[in-house]
Amino acid sequence: MKRHLPDGQRGMTLIEILLVIAITAILSSTGISSWQNYRQRAALEQSSAGLLAFLTRVQAAAHWRNQTYLLQVGKRGDRGCVAVNQTKRDGECDSDSGLRFVLSEPSLGLEVSHSDLGFGFYGVRNTAGTGHIVVFNQAGRVRLILSAKGRLRRCSESINGQQPYLPGVASC
């Protein structure tokens, strides 16, 4: 049932409706991809900040107890994790101290590179075994660096010469 509008028109044409649907579809698709990219960047930034806080807590515990805490990177189910042990172990994130950090999302991964002396914290004079852990996903890569003097820092790596936008994370 079509009514005549005061100016003589009889509603919207098919072309106008299709144009509105096309514009809505374009805006929705760009919005969804932007939202997914934002979520990946937020998960990367938050997980790397959580891992940095965990490592700081482990460092403080090693210094307080004057004990050696070695870090082991592995998987717990489908998620990456970092476990803390007093001796070197080969296992899937087993921890004799009960200290363990598990990544919040399965899309996040962990890589580790360290010296042969052992990657971890030594209670004596608050020193550490050097190395770094990289937390990564499709949005980018964040490196957590552990120096011999026990300094912990976090920076974002460039990918193909481009620096990803991660607020609050300095570039390497």
- Give residue-wise pLDDT tens across range 80-116: 899 898 877 766 777 777 788 999 888 899 988 877 7
Q: What pLDDT was estimated at residue 51?
A: 95
- pLDDT tens digits, residue range 18-66? 999 999 999 888 888 888 888 998 999 999 999 999 999 999 999 999 9
CA–CA separation, 131 and 24 (whole Å): 49
- Domain definitions of the chain by residue range: 14-66+103-171
Q: Record the tokens describing residue 102, joined without a space.
A: 């598990």
Most confident stretch, 11-15, 45-49, 95-99, 157-161: 45-49
* Cβ–Cβ under 8 Å, residues 81 and 106: no
Q: What pLDDT was estimated at residue 4?
A: 64
* Cβ–Cβ under 8 Å, residues 157 and 172: yes
Of the candidates 122, 128, 146, the residue with the CA atom closest to the CA atom of residue 66: 122
